[in-house]
């Protein structure tokens, strides 16, 4: 049975920013949720309420405010955990997905450095020790956040970066040469779940099954999937979970400044810390330090309490609507948008042009007009899209284009927003004399 359709006009009312106009009174058509989502009143109110009533440094102090703040912070952790089918102590709060992915890469670097100096490592941490000849596998459609940290790690350890290519249809080249690409030298396979530039939802079963066979760590960049579809980290592919999953709060209606790293408990237990300082310790003397258990081991310093509370409110809001309904709604938007964009002569969709296994993110180029110029005309219509390489430059290089126009949608978008996009592109064609 298909999920009940969303009442988008009611949902839009929950987002104060969507009530404003732009560019001389134009209705704001926000199609840039892939970059960051807008925030409902429930999230704004939760942050304000926290600051007005309970603000104090969590996990520090014996006074009532500190106690309330700690409870609020940990309650947010429990909500985020339940949202992805995890246990609270498997959820680490970071600044954003970029920091979550760097945390993993630095775990490898720190373990490798400690091993080279003959220092002791947590049980099971040998899998994080790299040597020249070891390999890390990503794909050509990664966001820079899931590419550059691995490039840096390879440069520092002598490991080699390898990658899956992309098909002309914008899908992962996941079958060709897989046993050669993922082999006994592979230590990590880190892949994006839904591409931020192509919209492709990657079927991670095949590469991760092979990664398991060779004992490699399975990492998922879920920045563009967890906000848009139900995701259970223990069941992300082929009835199994990944080992580590990273995403950002601000793309799922939450505040900026908070991201998440989920880790399988035994994997987190074996990871040496990333940032060090207050609250991530067990004991400290002038001679040395022992470290707390996860998640505290990875949360050095006063945490982002208000942002966590806001993220918890975002989770409540999404749960109330239902992730299955949101996914279904975005699928309907996709089924409407693909043919509407394809009607435009001279427009080429960069990414899958069928609605199966793809989200409601649409990159395209228009013959004879630079993407930045298309973006500017759209902006003059009140339509906010992103233009550029979307921090996925190698994907643009693959398709031999300098940039794309990207419209990325969410639960608060409707068919009228798609129509405004299409009208704006046609107007750009008229303006530049290419229609």
| Interaction site with ligand PLP (CB under 6 A) | 34, 96-98, 143, 145-146, 192, 196, 221, 223-224, 248
Q: What is the DSSP string of 361-390?
A: EEEEEETTB-HHHHHHHHHHTTEE-EEE-T
Helical (H) or strand (E) element with 341: helix 323-342
Q: What is the DSSP string of 92-116?
A: EEESSHHHHHHHHHHHHHHHHHHHH
Of residues 136 and 145, the one with the C-beta less far from ligand PLP: 145
- Cα separation values, 254 from 46, 142, 188, 262, 426, Å: 10, 23, 29, 17, 34
Question: Residue 313 — φ and ψ, nearest 5°?
Answer: -70, -35
Q: How many CB atoms lie within 10 A of CB 221?
A: 30
Angle at 358 between CA 356 and CA 256, to 5 degrees: 155
| Residue 391 appears among annotated catalytic residues | yes
How many residues in the chain?
435
Euclidean distance between CA atoms 57 and 225, whole angstroms: 32
Of residues 192 and 271, the one with the C-beta less far from ligand PLP: 192
Euclidean distance between CA atoms 165 and 197, whole angstroms: 15
Angle at 221 between CA 205 and CA 351, to 5 degrees: 75
Question: Residue 233 — φ and ψ, nearest 5°?
Answer: -65, -20
Neighbouring-strand partners of residue 206: none
Residues 6 or more apart in contact with residue 409 via CB below 8 angstroms: 31, 33, 330, 333, 337, 360, 361, 417, 418
Of residues 315 and 369, the one with the C-beta less far from ligand PLP: 315
Helical (H) or strand (E) element with 329: helix 323-342
Q: How far is the CB of 246 from ligand PLP (least distance, A)?
A: 7
Q: Of these residues, 154, 223, 391, 396, which one is catalytic?
A: 391
Of residues 172 and 428, the one with the C-beta less far from ligand PLP: 172
Q: How far is the CB of 175 from ligand PLP (least distance, A)?
A: 22
Catalytic residue numbers, as ranges: 391
């Amino acid at each position: 049975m298909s999920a009940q359709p969303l009442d988008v006009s009611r949902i839009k009312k929950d987002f104060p920013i969507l009530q404003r106009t732009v560019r001389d009174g134009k209705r704001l058509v926000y199609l840039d949720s892939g970059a960051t989502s807008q925030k409902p009143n429930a999230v704004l109110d939760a942050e304000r309420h926290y600051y007005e009533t309970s603000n104090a440094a969590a996990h520090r102090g014996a006074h009532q405010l500190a106690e309330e703040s700690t409870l609020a912070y940990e309650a947010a952790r429990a909500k985020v955990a339940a949202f992805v089918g995890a246990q609270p102590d498997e959820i680490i709060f970071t600044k954003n997905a970029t920091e979550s992915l760097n945390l993993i890469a630095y775990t490898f670097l720190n373990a490798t450095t400690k091993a080279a100096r003959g220092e002791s490592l947590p049980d099971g941490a040998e899998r994080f020790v790299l040597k020249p000849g070891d390999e890390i596998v990503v794909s050509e459609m990664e966001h820079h956040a899931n590419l550059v940290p691995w490039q840096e790690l390879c440069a520092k350890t002598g490991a080699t970066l390898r990658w899956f290519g992309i098909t002309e249809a914008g899908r992962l080249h996941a079958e060709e040469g897989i046993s050669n690409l993922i082999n006994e030298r592979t230590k990590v396979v880190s892949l994006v779940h839904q591409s931020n530039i192509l919209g492709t939802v990657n079927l991670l079963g095949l590469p991760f099954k092979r990664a398991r066979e060779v004992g490699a760590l399975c990492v998922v960049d879920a920045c563009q999937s967890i906000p848009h579809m139900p995701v259970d980290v223990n069941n992300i592919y082929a009835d199994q979970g990944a080992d580590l999953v990273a995403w950002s709060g601000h793309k799922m209606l939450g505040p900026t400044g908070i991201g998440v790293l989920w880790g399988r408990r035994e994997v987190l237990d074996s990871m040496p810390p990333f940032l060090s300082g207050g609250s991530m310790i067990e004991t400290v003397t002038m001679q040395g330090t022992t470290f707390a258990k996860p998640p505290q081991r990875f949360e050095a310093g006063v945490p982002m309490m208000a942002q966590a509370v806001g993220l918890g409110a975002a989770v409540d809001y999404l749960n109330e609507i239902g992730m299955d309904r949101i996914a279904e709604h975005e699928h309907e938007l996709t089924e409407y948008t693909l043919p509407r964009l394809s009607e435009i002569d001279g427009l080429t969709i960069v990414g899958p042009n069928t609605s199966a296994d793809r989200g409601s993110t649409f990159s395209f180029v228009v013959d004879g007009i630079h993407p930045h110029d298309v973006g500017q005309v759209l902006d003059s219509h009140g339509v906010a899209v992103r233009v550029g390489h979307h921090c996925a430059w190698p994907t643009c290089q693959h398709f031999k284009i300098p940039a794309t126009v990207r419209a990325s949608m969410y639960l608060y978008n409707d068919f009228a927003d798609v129509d405004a996009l299409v009208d704006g592109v046609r107007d750009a064609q008229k303006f530049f004399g290419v229609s």
